[in-house]
């Protein structure tokens, strides 16, 4: 591309706004390589793997910003084989596969293609070197990397439903999301109802709350701890808050022994926990979990399982959370509100946890609540509201049922996250309308992904959703 250098362009390079390509450094930065693959800025008809097989990239996969392979759910067809859904890892050199430990990491077992800039060693996986396949000189691609199109979701990866969904009137789209959100509310409520038949309403609630505290990566170990509730917090025995924190963290396998030796506040706190936990260790040995069960990568410090368990210990210690939630619910038609629910869920300041995100983090400059508004929203839409709603249904209390539905539909939106972002980009494109002011719209979108995307592939093969949306675009006159 002809480009007359100007002062501003030179500033960008000099200040590192763009990754510099020095003359002696012929390898592009890995981020550029990922973006080239994501947008397929490649001469795609010529792909041949290093072992000599022709390769057709039917879909490059979805960029993964969390731990694991760089691209998930790509659709590739190797010469003489049927198309397959798999993951793709991008590295500068083929030796990166071993030197980065991907060959030993179970999260990488679905990787079927290693995309590299160039090969420096024979690999064990089918490998594609990008260097000969760029669709423009590398210098031009470096400049393109700083442009908006390179930083946004590639339009070519939009789902087949994206056009019909974006063609809906804003009010119709909102209505569709609302309906999907109500389906999600009912399906979560049915889960609570089924569990309550086996374990009782209160136990079903605790399990839902713990699962929601585990967020998407740690829901199962959290669920297990909730199942142990009767042992962790026997109704007949009064446990101290510190004792419950020690028991929860100890049973979770999250109590570090190496930390107890220092002189910091964390060391002092951990020593106190160990003083309590070592006396109970044997009694809980049969249900103590290995630390390896928990996932920590990609977690915000506020969502660290240690902090979530410290919060759960406060609720278990108080012991009256279900009663207070029911009280909030009874006030709902008149004075109940999201803010009032946050008050119900909030706990007293904690000597240690109000000042530390995790057991290993430094003291915070100011105290932080153990529960923020975003987590309260997740608890509300995933556990509290479905649980209360199905209880209202069972009690045939239609007034309360409607009030809970209204509350669910009007609940303010939760924080954005990678799953929601991808769903929005894929189903609604970049210019997603401002319908996501409410948590219910987010829940509705997630339900669409659950119901349709999860039964199809990245190419939307056999997905009936586009046709259903197209047929629904205009209300049938009555």
Distance of closest approach, residue 444 Cβ to ligand SF4, in angstroms: 12
Helix (H, G, I), strand (E, B) or coil at 203: helix
19 contacts 28 by C-beta, under 8 angstroms: yes
Residue 184 touches ligand SF4, criterion: CB under 6 A: no
Copy the structure tokens of residue 14.
Answer: 């000099």
Taking residue 217's Cβ as centre, other Cβ atoms within 10 Å add up to 17
Q: How far apart are CA 192 and CA 197, in angstroms?
A: 9
Choice between 272 and 456, CB closer to ligand SF4: 456
Residue 161 touches ligand SF4, criterion: CB under 6 A: yes
Choice between 18 and 160, CB closer to ligand SF4: 160
Element (H, E) at 447: helix 439-451
HSE on the CB side for 336, CA within 13 Å?
23
Residue 160 touches ligand SF4, criterion: CB under 6 A: yes
128 contacts 49 by C-beta, under 8 angstroms: yes
Choice between 403 and 453, CB closer to ligand SF4: 453
Among 37, 294, 328, 465, interactor with ligand SF4 by CB under 6 A:
465
Residue 452 touches ligand SF4, criterion: CB under 6 A: yes
Residue 466 touches ligand SF4, criterion: CB under 6 A: yes
66-74, 153-161, 191-199, 235-243 -> range binding ligand SF4 (CB under 6 A):
153-161
First to last CA, the chain: 58
Q: Which of residues 408-447 bind ligand SF4 (CB under 6 A)?
A: 426-427
Copy the structure tokens of residue 294.
Answer: 């928990």
Distance of closest approach, residue 174 Cβ to ligand SF4, in angstroms: 18
The residue number whose beta carbon is nearest to ligand SF4 equals 159
12-20, 336-344, 429-437, 452-460 -> range binding ligand SF4 (CB under 6 A):
452-460
Which one, of 95, 84, 155, 160, lies nearest residue 127 by Cα? 95
Distance of closest approach, residue 429 Cβ to ligand SF4, in angstroms: 11
Q: How far apart are CA 246 and CA 270, in angstroms?
A: 9
Distance of closest approach, residue 445 Cβ to ligand SF4, in angstroms: 10
- Would you call 211 exposed, middle or buried from its count of C-beta atoms within 10 A (0-12, 13-18, 19+)? buried
Where do contacts with ligand SF4 occur on this chain (CB under 6 A)?
Answer: 159-161, 426-427, 448, 452-453, 456, 460, 463, 465-466
């Amino acid at each position: 591309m002809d480009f007359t250098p100007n002062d501003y362009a030179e500033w960008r390079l000099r200040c590192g706004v763009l990754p510099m390509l020095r003359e002696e450094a012929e390898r592009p930065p890995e981020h550029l390589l990922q973006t080239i693959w994501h947008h397929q800025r490649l001469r795609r008809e010529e792909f041949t793997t290093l072992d000599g097989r022709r390769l057709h990239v039917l879909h490059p996969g979805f960029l993964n910003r969390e731990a694991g392979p760089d691209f998930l759910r790509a659709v590739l067809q190797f010469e003489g084989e049927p198309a397959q859904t798999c993951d793709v890892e991008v590295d500068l050199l083929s030796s990166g596969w071993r030197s980065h430990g991907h060959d030993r990491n179970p999260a990488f077992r679905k990787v079927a293609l290693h995309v590299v800039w160039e090969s420096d060693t024979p690999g064990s996986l089918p490998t594609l070197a990008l260097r000969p396949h760029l669709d423009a000189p590398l210098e031009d691609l470096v400049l393109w990397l700083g442009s908006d199109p390179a930083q946004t979701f590639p339009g070519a990866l939009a789902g087949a439903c994206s056009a019909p969904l974006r063609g809906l009137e804003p009010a119709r789209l909102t209505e569709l999301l609302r309906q999907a959100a109500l389906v999600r509310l009912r399906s979560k409520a049915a889960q609570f109802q089924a569990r309550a038949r086996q374990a009782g309403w209160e136990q079903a609630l605790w399990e839902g709350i713990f699962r929601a505290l585990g967020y998407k990566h740690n829901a199962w170990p959290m669920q297990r701890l909730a199942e142990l509730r009767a042992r962790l917090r026997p109704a007949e025995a009064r446990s101290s808050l510190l004792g419950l924190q020690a028991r929860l963290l100890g049973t979770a396998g999250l109590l570090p022994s190496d930390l107890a030796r220092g002189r910091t506040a964390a060391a002092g706190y951990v020593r106190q926990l160990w003083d309590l936990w070592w006396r109970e260790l044997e009694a809980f040995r049969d249900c103590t979990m290995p630390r390896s069960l928990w996932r920590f990568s990609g977690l915000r410090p506020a969502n660290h399982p240690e902090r979530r368990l410290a919060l759960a210990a406060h609720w278990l210690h108080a012991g009256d959370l279900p009663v207070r939630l029911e009280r909030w619910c009874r006030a709902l038609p008149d004075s109940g509100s999201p803010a009032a629910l946050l008050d119900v869920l909030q706990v007293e300041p904690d000597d240690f946890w109000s000042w530390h995100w995790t057991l290993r983090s430094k003291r915070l400059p100011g105290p932080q609540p153990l529960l923020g508004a975003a987590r309260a929203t997740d608890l509300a839409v995933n556990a509290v509201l479905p649980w209360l709603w199905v209880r209202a249904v069972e009690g045939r209390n239609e007034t309360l049922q409607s009030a809970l539905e209204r509350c669910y539909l009007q609940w303010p939106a939760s924080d954005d996250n990678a799953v929601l972002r991808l769903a929005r980009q894929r189903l609604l494109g970049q210019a997603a309308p401002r319908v996501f002011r409410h948590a219910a719209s987010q829940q509705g979108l997630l339900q669409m992904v659950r119901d349709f995307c999860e039964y199809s592939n990245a190419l939307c093969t056999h997905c009936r959703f586009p046709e259903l949306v197209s047929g629904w675009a205009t209300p049938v006159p009555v």
